[in-house]
Structure formats: C-alpha cells, structure tokens
Structure 1
Amino acid sequence: MLQKVKVFGLFLLLATTGCRSVEKPVEQAALPAEVQVLATVHKFHLSNPNYPYAKVTQQIQKFGPDIIAIEIRPEDLQEDTTYLKQFYPLEMRQVLKDFPREKVRGLDWYGEEMRGKKMPADVFKNEQTELGKIKKLEREMNRDSLLQPRLIPLAELSKQQVELAKTASPAILNNGQYDDITRTFYEVLDEAVKGTRYETYTQFNRRRDEIITENIVKLVQNNPGKRILVLLGANHRNRAIHTLEKLPAEKVRLVEVED
C-alpha cells in the first residue's frame, strides 16, 4: 500500500515540415484507496474464542495494508508502553509493536483541552479536567433515578452488543449487525438525555466519533491507491462506515472483512 500510484507523462516529439511540436503529458487517473474497517472488542478479545488478540494481528497481515490507522491520538503514537496502556486498549498498542511505525497513523481525540498535549495519568479522574468532568457526568447520568425509565431500552441493546463481543468472529462482528445495534443505542440515548445537562456527555462522545471519522476521510483523500486498514473499537465503526460509503467510488473502495 505504500507504493504510490504512478503518473505517466508521455512526451512525443513530432517532426513536421519545418516545425516540431510536443504533446502534453497524459496523466493516469488516480486509483481509489482500498479501505477495510476492522472492528475490535477491546477486553473481550481475552475471552472470545473466535476473535482473540492474535486474530486481530492476523487480520491486519491478511489485508496487507500500506497504512494502519488506529484508535490512538496522533500526538501519542511516539509515547512508550507505560504511558499508552493508561489510555488505550491492548490491540491498539499491539499494532505499534507488530508493525513498522512509519505505517501507523493515529485517529483518536480526547477533547480540545488535551489536543497536542501529553495526558496526565489522572486525566479521567481529575474533575478539574474536561475529560474528568465528562466521566463524572456519565456516572451521575447512570445514577439518576429520574432518567432511568428513559434508559431502560438501552439494557437490551447493550446485552446484544456484549453477546456479539463475546462470541462473534471478525466477519460477523463487521457484517453490519453490530453497527445497527450501536446506531439504535445512540439514538435512544440521545433522545433520553435531550434537554438535560447530560447532553454534554453525549455531545462529547459524538464529537469524538466525528473527529475519528474526519481523520479517516482525510487519510483516504490524501492516499489514493493505497491499502488502508482502519482499526476501531466496534462502537465507532458505524459512523465511519456510513461516512465512507457516501464517498465517491473513484475515491474509495471498501473491502469486507472475512474470517
């Protein structure tokens, strides 16, 4: 995938009676980027017999990417394992060990306050930080007795997600079923918190997904003809796939995940 699309310029010198002319270069149209979005299940890789951590690496190798885009912030890619394990799941960190770093791109975003900065270890617990406030709001939302009746449908949707995370193979997890559940989950949650102070929590999560997806689109647009493997937690795949499917066919060709 790191091979660039060749652009051919053919210069023909034509001899005529008393004059010479030069044809303009003929350019070959850029090929679309070939993109595979591979969903992961974070800690469930430990117990899922059909999708262990080793299978993540195997799936990436099988696709043979030029570029591997992962759920880690771009500014954190050069940090060491001790730092990374505080904030990112194992399968994302493993990519940095198993594949050349020059192939890896970061997609994630943890708020504007931390953009371009190294995150402190307590960033999710310190309620003075943007991330700490978001986590606090999430805890309060889950304990709010007045809100609970509106959140009841989420329990069944979450159960369906967990069941797939525990048992699905890569192909099944990425066939759209999990994406549909996720889309419904967020629709129900957004409606439940509409008009409450908890909208700040859902807005932050939506913005994170939007930025991850924007980063994917930029990679596609800037790398015609390349093979790009996008590694995302399963809850982020829905928005990414939906957006990529709307891009022109001459810009991107989506490759299905197979076992």
Structure 2
Amino acid sequence: MLEKVKVFGLLFLLTAAGCKTTEKSLVESASPAEVQVLATIHKFHLSNPNYPYAKVTQLIQTFNPDIIAIEIRPEDLKEDTTYLKQFYPLEMRQVLKDFPLEKVRGIDWYGEEMRGKKMPSDVFKNEQTELGKIKKLEREMNRDSLVIPRLAPLAELGKQQAELARTAPPAVLSNGQYDELTRNFYEVLDEAVKDTRYETYTNFNRRRDEIITENIVNLVQENPGKRIIVLLGANHRNRAINALEKMPTDKVRLVSVED
C-alpha cells in the first residue's frame, strides 16, 4: 500500500509539473513578442561620439533579448571572421563574438543566386555573378548623363542622412526621422530610374529589403512572448518598422530605443 501511495504521489507531482509547464507555455504563446528595432550606422560608429560600437553592445545587453536578429545571411552565421568581414559591417560581426550563437538569427539576403551558398570573395566585382551585375549597374547609373539630373535631389537627402549618422544618438536614429529620409530617398531614386535599365538595380535593393522584412515578421510570429532585438543598418529600418507596426498588437509590442 505504501508503494502505491509513493507511486501515486510521484504521478501527481509529474502531472502537476506538466500542468504548470503547459500553463506557462499557454501564457507565453498568448503574449506578444516584445521587439526593438535598433538602427545601426556601420562605419559611422567609428566617428559618431554619441553612438560608438560599444553602445550597440550595451543597448543589446540592456534590452536583454531572447533573440538577436542581425544583418547577416542565415547561411553565413557560422563562418569565420575572415569570411564575414568581406561582406558584413563590424557591429553585426561583433554580435557573434559577444553573444551566444544560439540567440542569434540571420535575416539578410544577397540574391537567389547565392542563397544557401558560400559567397566568393569577388562576388561584388565579378560581373558574371548577379551581385556583380547589380554593382556594375549602380556604377553606370551614377555616370549616366541622362539620369544624373534626375538624381540631383538625392544629394540633399543623403547629406541629411549622413549628418544624422555622424552625430545622432541611437534613440534619434530610431525615432522615425531617419526612416522618413530613407523613404524619400528611395522614392526619388525609383522615379529617377523608372522605365530605364537601372530599374534592375533598384528592384534588387527593394527585394532585399522586402526579404529582410519578411524574415523579421516570420521571426516575430514564430516566437510569441519572446524579447527580440533586431539590428538593421539605418537605411533598411523604415520598411521593417512599417511592417511591424501593421501587425496585430496581440502578436507584437514594439519597444522604443532609449539612450
């Protein structure tokens, strides 16, 4: 009889533990993911006194995320530094050194031709590759006398972006002001190359932003109740933040960046 009581007691404990686990899972799944989208500024972190590289790490630590999404392709996350530095900015690579790999998710995309493959070192220079052709189009666009006058308004928008990147703290870079400049910049660029062969260049850039955004949205949907920080170069942030703002409030809660 005593043995039966012991067995019953053990079963009760196991069942109770299972209920608690299930209850916790249900609560977690019912909670929205808490998401912070942090604009980064690549090489400007070297010269911006209000936003050095160390500040990026500090902001991630302060947010204390379950998941860190970075502007590196998923297939490249386990590559070594020599490989990564050819294609990705330092603040993204630094995440892989400062935080556990199991927390990190890659959200970048460099074209279908390179999907699932290791990229060759000359991928942007080799005009036989998709990325090489895109870079060639960009160079030709910037030298085309017929297109250059249409690109003129970009100079002022780019100047305003650069000024923010040189001086603004992270909260300002993530408060929507830079995002609006980016939106205007790409509207002007798209109109300037409309019905020209350079649309291939702008379409590729747009598709990259769209896939990055899709990856972020999917990550949020697949991780209810988690704290997720997304590191994005400032020029990519506007499309992503717009998509997240359109998601139901029971799926995502956006957390503003504070200095």
Q: Same fold (TM over 0.5)?
A: yes
CA positional deviation for 1:8? 1.8
Code of the aligned partner of 1:8: E
CA distance in 2, matches of 1:103, 1:173: 25
Give me the whole-angstrom Cα distance separating, in 2, the residues matched to 1:57 and 1:167. Answer: 18
- Which segments of 5 or more consecutive residues in structure 1 lack a partner in the other structure? 10-26
Q: Which amino acid aligns with 2:206?
A: R
Distance 2:61 2:161 in 1: 26
> Aligned runs of 1:58-207 on 2, under 5 Å?
58-207=58-207
Report how far residue 6 of structure 1 moved.
5.4
Report the Cα offset of residue 7 of structure 1: 3.5
Query: Runs of 5+ in structure 2 lacking a partner?
Result: 1-19
Could you tell me which residue of structure 2 aligns to residue 215 of structure 1? 215
* Mapped pair 1:38 → 2:38: yes
- The equivalences for 1:222-241 within 5 A come to 222-241=222-241
**Which whole-Å deviations, capped at 9, do the CAs of 1:136-167 have from their partners, x for residues lacking one?**
00000001011111000000000000000000
Q: Which segments of structure 1 move beyond 3 Å, counting only runs of 4 or more?
A: none
Over 3 Å counting, the alpha-carbon distance change for 1:225 and 1:140 in structure 2 is same
The residue type paired with residue 167 of structure 1 is T
Distance 1:227 1:8 in 2: 19
Structure 1 residues 1-59: Cα deviation after superposition (integer angstroms, max 9, x where no partner): xxxx95429xxxxxxxxxxxxxxxxx546100000000000000000000000000001
- Rounded to whole Å, the distance in 1 between the matches of 2:164 and 2:57 is 20
Task: Give the 3-state SS of the residue equivalent to 2:132 in structure 1.
Answer: helix
TM-score calculated relative to the size of structure 2 = 0.90
- Aligned residues: percent identity? 83
Partner of 1:105, secondary structure, is strand
Provide the secondary structure at the position in 1 that maps to 2:258: coil
Q: Distance in 1 between the 2:139 and 2:22 partners?
A: 55
Structure 1 CA distance for aligned equivalents of residues 22 and 187 of structure 2:
45
Q: Which residue is 2:5 aligned to? A: none
Distance in 1, matches of 2:21 and 2:39, equals 32
Cα RMSD over matched residues? 1.4
How far, CA to CA, are the matches of 2:100 and 2:213 in structure 1?
23
Deviations 1:191-223 (A, max 9, x none): 110000000000000000000000000100000
**Could you say what secondary structure the match of 2:105 adopts?**
strand
Distance, in Å, in 2 between the alignment partners of 1:73 and 1:148 is 33
Count of residues in correspondence between the two structures:
239
